[in-house]
Structure 1
Amino acid sequence: MVTAARWKAAQEYERSYWEAQGRAIATGAAAKLDWYRWRADQLVARLCALGFGDLSSGTARVVEIGCGPIGIVSFFPAHERVGVDPLERFYSTNPVLTRLRNPSVRYLQGVGEAIPCDSARYDLAIIDNCIDHVRDVEAVRRELARVLRVRGILYMTVNCRTRWGFVVHRTLSRLDIDRGHPHTFTSSRARRLLDGRGFRILSFETESASLARLTDLRSPALRGRLKAMLGVSEFPVSLVAQRSDSVPRLS
């Protein structure tokens, strides 16, 4: 768990990012966050391939933790859709971002360590590329297990690094050079977070670390090239896990 001050700094960084995104969208300099729809379509296809097509039939209850201003949940077909984010009060006052929202989604102010939802209520929980932004990773895991029904499905993605990248990024994070990411993940750490700890992993996919580094090396931006040279290029890891019949009391 990181300190409250460190987590607050990460949230300030996140807020600054979305303020800039809102301005860019308003001036036509950025797309209107269409990637959320693309991510939702990806998730539907993956669930269907795993035999969970019923979750996208429009009858499920779905919650997304760290949904940002819109979230995958906004485009996922469901009977009940809830998005939870610690910056919701800010998002709800930004007219550019709120205009892009689906009015059928209920957005709540809250954190992953204390999800403001009933226990065992949801069929599907989503945490997309934000587990490394939270204050207490283990508390978030426990809360995800709590709000899911028995045998409910969790979809989690996180940008990971190699073992060397893990060490270097931890140093950068502690020096406040990467303010937005209090935690660092390797693919094995992402797996260990869930497997046998209230969840059973059904599908685990990781993209190429070497390709991510090569892409950064070829980047026209100095930031990308520096990431490659330092060995901190990140590559996406995604997994689908099922909540166990019983959740062990593990820290």
Structure 2
Amino acid sequence: MVIDIQHYFCFMKRFRWQIAQFFENFWWKRYLKNRASSEYLAWKKDYWTTFLSDISLSPTAVQEPIIDIGCGPAGIFLLFEGKEITALDPLLTQYEELAIFKKKAYTSVDFANERFEDFTAAKKYKTIFCLNAINHFVDIDFSFNKLREICDNQGELVLSVDAHNFSFFRKLFALIPFDILHPHQYNLAEYEHFLEKSGFSIDRKVVLKKEFFFDYWVLVAKPTH
């Protein structure tokens, strides 16, 4: 019976992840349907430049090699063309159907079309961007440990998350998938605990957006060992 229960929970985690991936692709198609590619990409580059400024990180200070985990079709890799950078997302093949994204347009970016849990890193990364992605993964404990595993001892992790403001709604959203794109539901203290448990210390944290259910936080962390 214990084994059956374990299998059930593993199945449900993967099932929720698959549903989230389906709706993630669907959301991008609808969101970009009537947007001009050149205008959107220019706006997105400005967005990422502002994002780095808001967390006190200059693009020129970002160390290589870089990895953009859960990059989507217009991730922060847009700012680092010509740098040593990997961009990873399990939906890259589907994103190539979008007008705004063609891998061949980014000749210096090493794209990996796979889940982070399945990714085999050939190097340690000096800068890891994991932006609004960690709560999309299947196995969050494993993924935090893997972030530390691929981070250079002198490196830096930039993690952004939607963190719950209320315990009641966090538990409710975990039971009933109101937030269909995000299989995991945690508050800020829990994300900080994940980081510290996996071998990171938090250098700084910045709230970029405050809303009723969630606040959007960026945690910049460095390896502790």
TM over 0.5: yes
TM-score by length of 1: 0.74
Tell me what 1:236 maps to.
216
Partner Cα separation in structure 1 for residue 187 and residue 104 of structure 2: 33
Tell me how far 1:7 sits from its aligned partner: 0.6
1:191 aligns with 2:192: yes
Partner Cα separation in structure 2 for residue 87 and residue 97 of structure 1: 12
Partner Cα separation in structure 1 for residue 15 and residue 75 of structure 2: 26
Tell me how far 1:124 sits from its aligned partner: 0.3
1:55 aligns with 2:62: yes
Give secondary structure in 1 for the equivalent of 2:117: coil
Partner Cα separation in structure 1 for residue 65 and residue 37 of structure 2: 36
Structure 1 gaps of 5+ residues are 214-232, 246-251
**Which is further off, 196-205 or 135-144?**
196-205
Partner Cα separation in structure 1 for residue 135 and residue 164 of structure 2: 12
Q: CA contact under 8 A between 1:199 and 1:242: conserved in structure 2?
A: yes
Tell me how far 1:74 sits from its aligned partner: 1.8
Cα deviation 1:45-74 (Å, max 9, x = unaligned): 6235xxx96435xxx110011000121122
Q: CA contact under 8 A between 1:158 and 1:185: conserved in structure 2?
A: no
Q: CA contact under 8 A between 1:81 and 1:104: conserved in structure 2?
A: yes
Within 5 Å, which residues of 2 pair with 1:9-24? 9-24=19-34
Tell me what 1:202 maps to.
203
Q: CA contact under 8 A between 2:134 and 2:140: conserved in structure 1?
A: yes
Give secondary structure in 1 for the equivalent of 2:35: helix
Give secondary structure in 1 for the equivalent of 2:77: helix
TM-score by length of 2: 0.81
Cα deviation 1:129-160 (Å, max 9, x = unaligned): 11111111111112211222112100000011
**Aligned residue pair count:** 214
Tell me how far 1:85 sits from its aligned partner: 0.3
The one-letter amino acid of 1:71's match is G
Tell me what 2:5 maps to.
none
Partner Cα separation in structure 2 for residue 13 and residue 33 of structure 1: 25
Tell me what 1:149 maps to.
152
Tell me what 1:109 maps to.
113
1:130 aligns with 2:137: no
Within 5 Å, which residues of 2 pair with 1:206-221? 206=207, 209=210, 212-213=211-212
Tell me what 1:225 maps to.
none
Structure 2 gaps of 5+ residues are 1-9
Seen in structure 2, the aligned counterparts of structure 1 residues 78 and 106 have a Cα distance that, compared at 3 Å, is same
Equivalent position to 1:83, from 66, 83, 87: 87
Partner Cα separation in structure 2 for residue 115 and residue 43 of structure 1: 26
Cα deviation 1:90-149 (Å, max 9, x = unaligned): 1123333328954322221111223232242x1100000111111111111122112221
The one-letter amino acid of 2:68's match is E
Q: CA RMSD in A?
A: 2.9
Partner Cα separation in structure 2 for residue 207 and residue 27 of structure 1: 26
The one-letter amino acid of 1:144's match is L
Partner Cα separation in structure 1 for residue 43 and residue 119 of structure 2: 26
Cα deviation 1:180-201 (Å, max 9, x = unaligned): 1111121111211102521111
Tell me how far 1:77 sits from its aligned partner: 6.5
The one-letter amino acid of 1:151's match is Q
Q: CA contact under 8 A between 1:62 and 1:78: conserved in structure 2?
A: no
Tell me what 1:218 maps to.
none
